[in-house]
């Protein structure tokens, strides 16, 4: 079974639509992440949840709204997006601890196109 799953894999939406991206991890991890990946840019961290509490919010516009109902599920609610929001949205999870770094496991991503 794939460790981190994301749905949908592809999404086309108009600027006035509301949609949600879903992520689920089956690895027993305690931290989950949303990233944005655009061409010719490094991965951009959007949000981090640790033990279901949001611990990072990197100046993301309010038209992106995350939700983490439990340690296995993460959502990204989208509304009134702009064309420049078109990108690959990646979800990741890790077993965050107080010591050293920990590798993140990624889902396959949602390819979002805003028209």
List residues binding another protein (CB under 8 A): 4, 31, 33, 40-43, 45, 48, 50, 55-56, 90, 94, 96-97, 99-109, 111
For another protein, give the closer residue by CB, 7 or 14: 7
Largest Cα span, the chain? 44
At residue 24, what are phi and psi to the nearest 5 degrees? -140, 135
Phi, psi of 83 (to 5 degrees): -55, -30
Q: What angle do CA 70, 73, 77 make, to 5 degrees?
A: 110
Tell me the closest approach of the beta carbon of residue 106 to another protein, in angstroms: 4
Q: Nearer Cβ to another protein, position 15 or 57? A: 57
Residue 15 CB, shortest distance to another protein, in Å, is 25
Minimum distance between the CB of residue 18 and another protein, rounded to whole angstroms? 26
- The angle formed by the CA atoms of residues 30, 58 and 82, to the nearest 5 degrees, is 115
Q: Least distance in Å: CB of 93 to another protein?
A: 11
């Amino acid at each position: 079974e794939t460790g981190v799953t994301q749905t949908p894999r592809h999404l086309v939406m108009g600027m006035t639509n509301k949609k949600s991206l879903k992520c689920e991890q089956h690895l027993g991890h305690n931290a989950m992440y949303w990233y944005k990946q655009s061409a010719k840019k490094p991965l951009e961290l959007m949000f981090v949840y640790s033990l279901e509490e949001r611990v990072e919010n990197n100046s993301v516009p309010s038209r992106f709204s995350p939700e983490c109902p439990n340690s296995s599920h993460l959502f990204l609610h989208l509304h009134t997006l702009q064309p420049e929001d078109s990108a690959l949205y990646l979800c990741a999870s890790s077993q965050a601890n107080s010591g050293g770094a920990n590798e993140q496991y990624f889902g396959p991503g949602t390819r979002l196109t805003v028209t």
